[in-house]
Amino acid sequence: MRTRTLLWIMGAVAGVFGVLVVAGLPLYVFPPAEDIDDADLIFVIGPPNEERVAAERTLRSADVADLSLYSVTSRGRLSAEALAVCREATVTCAHIEPFTTKGEFAYLERFAHENDVERTVVLTFTPHVARTRYIAEKCFDGDVTVMAVDEGLTFGDWIYQYLYQSAAFVKAWATPCAEGAPRQ
């Protein structure tokens, strides 16, 4: 009897895990792509790693937008002081508090208002696209297109991102939008 119960529990856990993996595929692995026409701003949400910087430069060279905004760390190799792109005339780099997706959209709300920005392309990595879209709809009044940047995640990275993004979705749903104070 114990073996049968244990097998049933293991089967139920495996089934739930399988459903979660399949349900997460369109959210985390294959988020729908959006058309990118033209925009007023390209917003690279943190961290501004090589892949996101390259994607921003590609969009800028394709004349998608002339102005770019980077969410950077306060210090280290991904800070405004360390990134050459932050010294370009059409780029603004800011360390945003809180350094969260909701904090970044609170900052974007103010930045867009102050700089007459209506349309924004947001760059983030693939598993973060769905949650970024959700937060954009919840916390930002402007028009946002979220673009996935492939960052070559390992299998272990994908497992972690499934867990992290799922928990972060619950948090995004359950908490209000941020009122972060910018630091430039």
Tokens of 9: 């529990």
* Angle of CA points 137, 26, 128, to nearest 5°: 50
Q: Where are the domains of the chain?
A: 31-183
State yes or no: pLDDT of 183 exceeds 60.
Answer: no
What secondary structure letter does DSSP report for 182? E
pLDDT band at residue 11 using 50, 70 and 90 as cut-offs: confident
Report the candidate in 84, 26, 24, 5 with the shortest Cα–Cα distance to residue 50: 84
- Domain 31-183: CATH superfamily, name plus number: HUPs (3.40.50.620)
What three-state secondary structure class fits 125? strand
Tokens of 3: 């073996």
Other Cβ atoms closer than 10 A to 114: 8
State yes or no: pLDDT of 160 exceeds 80.
Answer: yes
Residue-wise pLDDT for 22-54, tens only, equals 777 777 877 888 888 899 999 999 899 999 999
Residue-wise pLDDT for 135-153, tens only, equals 999 999 999 999 999 999 9
Entry pTM: 0.87
pLDDT band at residue 4 using 50, 70 and 90 as cut-offs: confident
